[in-house]
């Protein structure tokens, strides 16, 4: 299986040259999806932000009930995709599952729970369905399965889709027709079911006639499809050698009403199952079928290019006034290998020039951290490394763009440099704070922004737009809040005045910051309150 994985990663690497040309920073959707996919957690977020990958518990069954989180995520994605209709190009992986959980075909507390595992990650760029799809990639690789190539750009449905998820009591003719409608032929159906049922199992509350009730420590009483929690072909070999514990094969007491896996697996005389008994065939088949499963979207949705690991990944960029009369540029830069004694520096140009008039526009990393995730490791990057910069920038000359020198080689975002669009309005992340009113017990955040003092006479308005999850289907603009001059709390410095506003009774959210100055609107978008230190 590891050989196959190496081949898959070579395949992915071969695609890289074209993608490097296509990619240009900033690309908010790609940048964020890449960060979540390869680092597991959104850029710069502290401990209280949920770590997407860590939720999988290293593919180990959850201690108190034996549940496989990886299985929950894979089943969730399949049940969402299952309402695709190839005949009219509607439905597919579109997050409509959230609106369909009360249907019998979606029985299971695992689906209700999986819904909440994903809820922290969508924002105004990232759809909930992109996160469901990413869950399949992360769950599969975390459990030792193949690398499933990933694209973004899915669009969330606003309404429930048609019924159409197969249930175990149906006939093989029904299954073949259901999978045809989803876009998969009979052989692919067998593969997809075997790949899905290599993890997880059948639960007592959902199928009490198959699974006996549990005991106190295992209330849900899950009977696993095969004897290993990993993403492997044991589901196939145990089926073929007659040792399977898969209740959807064996049934109970000779009753095969719910033996859907037996009907599916044997429907071509076991030919496909015999092929899948090869670990290489199993891994490659599951990789390609899962890719097609997560890319099954309505015809009017266009997915992005493949999101491969960026060789130079810039993130967490924040320019803001420091406390010593200068500006500070914070950012991280990730490389895919951890070469020892690497010489690395950050460089920048004056705001109104392409050069550095003071001759003092460079900085070195403050520290570095090795980044190791199952997906990066599977792609041959077991020790990616992330450098943190906190560069002092002259407040008089400011900054227009930055770039890196890595062992004497310039990395400048394909020639343009990494452009800082504007320095008129900046989020002062470190002056912002979490707050708790001692009287009303209202909690929330004090948001502080810096606006150039030279623009103060023409500053018409400073405000933020907040985005939150408001409906079952997604993240929307929820409020607009004006910031007012707050020089009593925050004395002007580095040529900037500070504006503030209280955001009360909110959980963490993302926001866009704006200032209207002399009739022109400046913006710093997609800031995240997770970045604010908790008092
Ligand atoms: C004929 C088609 C299928 C039928 C009839 C079927 C039926 C079932 C049933 C009855 C369960 C037990 C659910 C519970 O206890 O709540 C189950 C679990 C599961 N199914 Fe399927 N399934 C089918 C296809 C698929 C496919 C195509 C996938 C994914 C590619 C998939 C992924 C899963 C997973 C991962 C679980 C375990 C969930 C857990 O342990 O929480 N299934 N399936
Ligand atoms: C409870 O159920 C689990 C899983 O089926 C089993 O391993 C364990 O032995 C059971 N404990 C008792 C006291 O029956
Ligand atoms: C077989 O199982 C099905 C589904 O659990 C059930 O409805 C049916 O009554 C059972 N048949 C017999 C003969 O026990
Ligand atoms: C397929 O394999 C299963 C499990 O070994 C066996 O019960 C069944 O008879 C086989 N079917 C055919 C058509 O070979
Ligand atoms: C797996 O084996 C089947 C049957 O020999 C073959 O049709 C299929 O192409 C193989 N799949 C992969 C990915 O090797
Ligand atoms: C795609 O088509 C569906 C159904 O016609 C429509 O509801 C949806 O808004 C369309 N989505 C996009 C992204 O155009
Ligand atoms: C590197 O510096 C950043 C910013 O000061 C800090 O958050 C991070 O924990 C540091 N990492 C290590 C490994 O010291
Ligand atoms: C850049 O030039 C503009 C227009 O001349 C001026 O208003 C601004 O203060 C300059 N900024 C810096 C940082 O020198
Ligand atoms: C920039 O990073 C430094 C060092 O970690 C930190 O002390 C400071 O608060 C950060 N500033 C902003 C605006 O994030
Ligand atoms: C915010 O400020 C603008 C411009 O001054 C004003 O029109 C608007 O009513 C204010 N909004 C709120 C909610 O106070
Ligand atoms: C704050 O700004 C106002 C308006 O510009 C000014 O009148 C006041 O003196 C300033 N206060 C401080 C403490 O700087």
Residues 487 and 362 in one domain: no
Surface-to-core class of residue 273, CB atoms within 10 Å of its CB (0-12 exposed, 13-18 middle, 19+ buried): buried
302 domain-assigned = no
* Average pLDDT of the segment spanning 185-208: 96
Among the listed ranges 282-291, 344-353, 436-445, 485-494, which one has the minimum average pLDDT value?
A: 436-445
CA distance 313 to 28: 12
From 1-15, 183-197, 458-472, the region with the lowest mean pLDDT:
1-15
pTM of this structure: 0.93
Measured CA to CA, the distance from residue 133 to residue 118 in angstroms comes to: 10
Q: How many helices (H) and strands (E) does the chain have?
A: 14, 19
Residue 40 confidence (pLDDT) above 90 = no
- Give yes or no for residue 206 CB within 6 A of ligand 1: yes
Q: Which atom of ligand 8 is nearest to the CA of 398?
A: 13
The DSSP element (H or E) to which 285 belongs, if any, is: helix 279-294
Average pLDDT score, the chain: 92
Mutate to test the pocket of ligand 1, among 196, 218, 226, 266 (most ligand atoms within 8 A of CB): 196
In a domain, 383, yes or no: yes
Give CA–CA dist 202/165, Å, rounded.
Answer: 16
Per-residue pLDDT tens over the stretch 136-175: 999 999 999 999 999 999 999 999 999 999 999 999 999 9
Ligand 3 atom with the smallest distance to the CA of 253 is 14
* Protein residue closest via CA to atom 10 of ligand 11: 487
Residue at 1 is within a domain: no
85 and 232 belong to one structural domain: yes
Q: Is 207 in the pocket of ligand 1 (CB under 6 A)?
A: yes
Residue that finishes a domain, picked among 358, 388, 419: 419
Q: Is the pLDDT of residue 303 over 90?
A: yes
Does the beta carbon of 482 sit less than 6 angstroms from any atom of ligand 10?
yes
φ, ψ (nearest 5 deg) of residue 110: -65, -35
CA of 398 to the centre of ligand 8 (A): 9
In a domain, residue 376? The reply is yes
CB 356, CB 528: distance < 8 Å: no
Condensed to tens digits (0 to 9), the pLDDT of residues 374-389 reads 999 999 999 999 999 9
56 Cβ contact partners less than 8 Å away, ≥ 6 residues apart = 69, 70, 73, 138, 139, 142, 143
Q: What is the residue range of 409's domain?
A: 312-419
> pLDDT grade, residue 10 (50/70/90)?
very low
Residues 150 and 261 in one domain: yes
Residue 184 pLDDT grade (very low, low, confident, very high; cuts 50, 70, 90) = very high
Distance 276 CA to ligand 10 centre (A): 64
pLDDT for 21 equals 52
Residue 213 has what pLDDT?
83
Q: How many Cα atoms within 13 Å fall on the side-chain side of residue 1?
A: 21
- 439 DSSP 8-state letter: T
Q: Give the model's pLDDT for residue 330.
A: 96
The CATH number that applies at residue 509 is 2.60.40
At 41, is the pLDDT very low, low, confident or very high (cuts 50, 70, 90)?
A: confident
Q: Tell how far CA 47 is from the center of its chain.
A: 17
- Site to substitute for ligand 8 among 352, 420, 457, 517, most atoms within 8 A of C-beta: 352
Q: Please tell me whether residue 521 adopts helix, strand or coil conformation.
A: strand
DSSP state of 39: H
Residues 356 and 498 in one domain: no
Closest C-alpha to ligand 3, atom 2: 257
What ligand has the least distance to the C-alpha of 233?
A: 5
pLDDT recorded at residue 20: 46
Closest C-alpha residue for ligand 2 atom 6 = 218
Domain check: are 156 and 271 in the same one?
Answer: yes
Q: Are residues 136 and 228 in the same domain?
A: yes
The residue out of 294, 329, 358 marking a domain boundary is 294
Q: Does the residue 285 lie in any domain?
A: yes
Least confident among 18-27, 180-189, 257-266, 394-403: 18-27
User: Which of 371, 392, 419 is the C-terminal boundary of a domain?
Assistant: 419
* Protein residue with its CA nearest to atom 31 in ligand 1: 196
Q: How many domains does the chain have?
A: 3
Distance CA 188, CA 147 (A): 18
């Amino acid at each position: 299986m590891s050989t196959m994985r190496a081949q898959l990663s070579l395949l992915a690497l071969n695609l890289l040259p074209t993608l490097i040309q296509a990619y240009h920073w900033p690309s908010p959707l790609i940048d964020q999806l890449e960060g979540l996919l390869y680092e597991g957690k959104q850029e710069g977020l502290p401990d209280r932000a949920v770590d997407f990958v860590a939720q999988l518990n290293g593919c180990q069954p959850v201690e108190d009930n034996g549940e496989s989180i990886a299985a929950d995520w894979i089943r969730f994605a399949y049940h969402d995709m299952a309402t695709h209709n190839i005949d009219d190009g509607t439905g597919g992986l579109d997050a409509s599952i959230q609106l369909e959980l009360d249907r019998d075909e979606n029985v299971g507390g695992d689906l209700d729970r999986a819904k909440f595992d994903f809820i922290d990650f969508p924002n105004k760029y990232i759809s909930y369905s992109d996160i469901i799809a990413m869950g399949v990639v992360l769950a599969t690789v975390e459990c030792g399965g193949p690398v499933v190539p990933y694209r973004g750009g899915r669009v969330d449905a606003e309404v429930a889709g048609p019924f159409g998820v197969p249930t175990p009591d149906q006939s093989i003719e029904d299954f073949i027709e259901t999978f045809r409608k989803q876009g998969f032929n009979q052989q692919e159906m067998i593969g997809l079911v075997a790949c899905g049922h290599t993890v997880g199992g059948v639960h007592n509350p959902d199928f009490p006639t198959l699974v006996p009730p549990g005991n106190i420590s295992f209330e849900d009483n899950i009977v696993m499809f095969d004897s290993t929690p990993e993403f492997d072909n044991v589901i196939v070999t145990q089926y073929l050698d007659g040792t399977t514990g898969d209740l959807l094969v064996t049934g109970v007491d000779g009753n095969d009403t719910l033996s859907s896996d037996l009907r599916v697996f044997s429907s071509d005389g076991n030919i496909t199952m015999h092929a899948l008994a090869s670990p290489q065939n199993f891994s490659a088949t599951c990789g390609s079928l899962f890719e097609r499963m997560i890319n099954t979207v309505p015809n009017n949705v266009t997915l992005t290019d493949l999101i491969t690991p960026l060789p130079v990944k810039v993130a967490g960029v924040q320019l803001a006034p420091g406390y010593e009369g200068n500006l500070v540029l914070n950012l991280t830069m990730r490389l895919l290998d951890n070469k020892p004694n690497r010489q690395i520096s950050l460089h920048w140009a004056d705001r109104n020039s392409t050069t550095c008039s003071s001759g003092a526009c460079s900085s070195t990393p403050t520290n570095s951290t090795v980044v190791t995730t199952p997906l990066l490791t599977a792609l041959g990057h077991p020790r990616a490394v992330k450098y943190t910069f906190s560069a002092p920038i002259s407040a008089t000359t400011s900054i227009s763009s930055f770039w890196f020198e890595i062992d004497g080689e310039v990395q400048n975002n394909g020639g343009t440099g990494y452009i800082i669009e504007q320095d008129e309005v900046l989020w002062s992340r470190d002056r912002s704070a979490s707050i708790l009113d001692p009287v009303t017990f209202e909690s929330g955040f004090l948001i502080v922004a810096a606006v150039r003092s030279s623009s103060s006479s023409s500053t018409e308005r400073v405000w933020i737009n907040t985005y939150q999850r408001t409906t079952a289907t997604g993240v929307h603009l929820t409020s607009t809040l004006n910031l007012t001059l707050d020089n009593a709390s925050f004395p002007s410095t580095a040529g900037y005045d500070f504006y503030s506003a209280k955001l009360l009774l909110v959980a963490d959210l993302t926001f866009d910051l704006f200032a209207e100055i002399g009739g022109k609107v400046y913006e710093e978008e997609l800031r995240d309150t997770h970045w604010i230190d908790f008092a």
